[in-house]
Amino acid sequence: MFDFDKIVERKSDKCRKWDHAYVCSRFGNVAEGFIPLWIADMDFTSPPAVIDGFKRIVEHGTFGYTWCFDDFYDAVIAFQRERHQVEVEKAWITLTYGTVSTLHYTVQAFCKPGDCVMMNTPVYDPFAMAAQRQGVQVLANPLRVEANRYQLDFNLVEAQLKAHRPKLWFFCSPHNPSGRIWCADEIRQVSDLCKRYGTVLVVDEVHAEHILDGNFVSCLASDCAAQDNVIVLTSPNKAFNLGGLKTSFTIIPDAALRQRFRHQLEKNSITSPNIFGVWGIILAYQHGLPWLDALRSYLRSNAHYLADALQTHFPAWKMMNPESSYLAWVDVSADERSATELTQHFAQQAGVVIEDGSHYVQNGENYLRINFGTQRYWLEESIHRMRQHY
């Protein structure tokens, strides 16, 4: 029904992932025929129902100001109920202009210069940028590796919370870059500690829709995180490949937290939505689920292929099991070359562009991140090139 093997030409749409000049600015002298497996951007067209809906908007030909009408709220509420078994009220939902910018607004709303924000490292680097750009310190809480899987060190967590009293804890669930899914007990412990030490729990759930192994538990689930001390950031952007629309939303059950957050949005004039952004959410959530389910199966197959290929051809490397998303996190500490050296070597010699983990705030220096959200052809060709030039 959906052909995810079909090669999609990406250069003409000026996406960063495939733009030669942009890639060279990041990775040095890369040949024209490179294969990009870096930024978290999939190479599949979005669901046909979303594309058809956008066509109707374009053909109508008017692109005036809009607002968050009931269809938007209804779509979010129904999606959260169906996919995550949580009940969300309309009043809790606030539309925003992308998750990364929302991290910045959240720091602005709840912190002042000199405060600190906790985050579990390694982690998506805009978490740290959102704090540092406001003069707020990063409190890194390193994740432990046990049996090639990340674990929270709750003794260290509590010691840091007690000593530093961070205003916010940016908690990535599922975790980016590893894909680790946190269980309900872990989220409950995180929430309890936040309540004990006066820290607001800010949960990024944007990678919750591509579940490959296990079951995702939203922090909004019953008897999970405390509803009076949580801010959830999410969007359909990763799930349905809509990142360029820069549209997202927050779910904040507590009225006082929500008012403080919305006041900051007003100060930044975050008001009416992008017309394609708000319709993208509605169309994806109402009509894109069959596509999403089929994509999840395809990504699971790609993950298995990549894990087998790396184990066969690069036996010194250890790929964590990606329980969610389409990003492989690979430990190369046993390799003779560092992760940074391998990244540069493969980009410039093999024309395969992957990321090293050195910029994932802290504790990612021995890792590579490989995006397998692409056609199997590109994965197979990348492994072939990497073997030739290893």
pLDDT tens track for 144-198: 999 999 999 999 999 999 999 999 999 999 999 999 999 999 999 999 999 999 9
In a domain, 1, yes or no: no
23 with 160, same domain: the answer is no
- How large is the average pLDDT for residues 7-17? 92
pLDDT tens track for 228-262: 999 999 999 999 999 999 999 999 999 999 999 99
The total number of structural domains in the chain stands at 2
3-state DSSP percent of the chain in helix, strand and coil, to 5: 45, 15, 40
**CA 292 from chain center: how many Å?**
16
In a domain, 3, yes or no: no
The yes-or-no verdict on residue 269 having pLDDT over 90 is yes
Helix 99-110, helix 255-267: angle, nearest 10: 110
Torsion of CA 356, 360, 364, 368, to 10 degrees: -30
The pTM assigned to this predicted structure is 0.97
256 with 118, same domain: the answer is yes
17 with 157, same domain: the answer is no
The yes-or-no verdict on residue 74 having pLDDT over 90 is yes
Q: Please report which confidence band the pLDDT of residue 349 belongs to, taking 50, 70 and 90 as the band edges.
A: very high
Final residue in a domain of this structure, among 287, 303, 325? 287
The CATH number assigned to the domain holding 31 equals 3.90.1150.10
85 with 167, same domain: the answer is yes
Identify whether the C-beta of residue 122 lies closer than 8 Å to the C-beta of residue 363. yes
Identify whether the C-beta of residue 65 lies closer than 8 Å to the C-beta of residue 48. no
Residue 271 is predicted with a pLDDT of 86
Final residue in a domain of this structure, among 270, 287, 304? 287
Question: Phi first, then psi: what are they for 263, rounded to 5°?
Answer: -60, -40
Final residue in a domain of this structure, among 266, 287, 308? 287
In a domain, 93, yes or no: yes
The CATH number assigned to the domain holding 79 equals 3.40.640.10
- Enumerate residues 6+ apart whose C-beta is below 8 A from 202: 103, 106, 168, 169, 170, 171, 230, 231, 233
Radius of gyration of the chain measured on its C-alpha atoms: 21
Q: Please report which confidence band the pLDDT of residue 82 belongs to, taking 50, 70 and 90 as the band edges.
A: very high
Q: Which domain holds residue 34?
A: 11-47+290-388
Query: What are 122's two structure tokens?
Result: 């390694």
